[in-house]
Amino acid sequence: MPHQEFDGLTKEDRRQVPHHHDKIIDVEGHPRLRVGFWQSRYKVPDHGSLHGLLYSVKNNGGTKTEKSDDTALAMMQSIEDMPHRPNAIWFDQDEAIYQGGTDRAFPAVYIFDDDTKVVAVFNKQTGNFVTTCQLTEKQETELKGTHNFGGGEGWFSGKVNNLPPKGITSINSFENDVMGITPVDDSQIDNSNN
């Protein structure tokens, strides 16, 4: 793509530019989907924790995963593997809509892991990956009942949706993440030589 043409793209369009690391989900009986590298790299800081990546907890209670090529690739691999999980559910019927009832609604394809409650969202028209998140009980009921998700009450309220994954405990600390050591409390230190 010529540089001038690339410069004319919106930020959203730039994240859909093909990359040699893009992954394809091609499962018989379902639409062919693309997990794009640039979109994944954009989404990994807020959503990487849902796919088993290291994260820290921000002041607002949301999660943050380091934004890098490696973390984007790891999240992409997890999303590519979702259809092969034992309790994966596809929502690719005609009535599947993302953010239905808002001006941002579009026909969608969802791959939902019924064990972890993590969903991957794709634009049905393009097949491109859009986002991933862990559904609340209310959102899960909405998705299973109406095949719509994301347009519900309070969706754009500023409420944090990228909370630490349910069932996973964060053990992040400077000592653990940066230094590679497990911190100990003072009672475990021998101060007899002081």
Please state, for a pLDDT cut of 70, what percent of the chain lies above it: 76
Please write the tens of the pLDDT for every residue from 6-45: 777 788 888 888 889 999 999 999 999 999 999 999 999 9
Amino acid, single-letter form, for residue 54:
L
**Domains and their CATH numbers in the chain:** 10-180 (3.10.450.200)
Residue range 147-187, pLDDT digits in tens: 987 766 555 444 556 667 765 444 444 444 444 444 444 44
**pTM of this prediction?**
0.79
Share of the chain above pLDDT 90, in %: 56
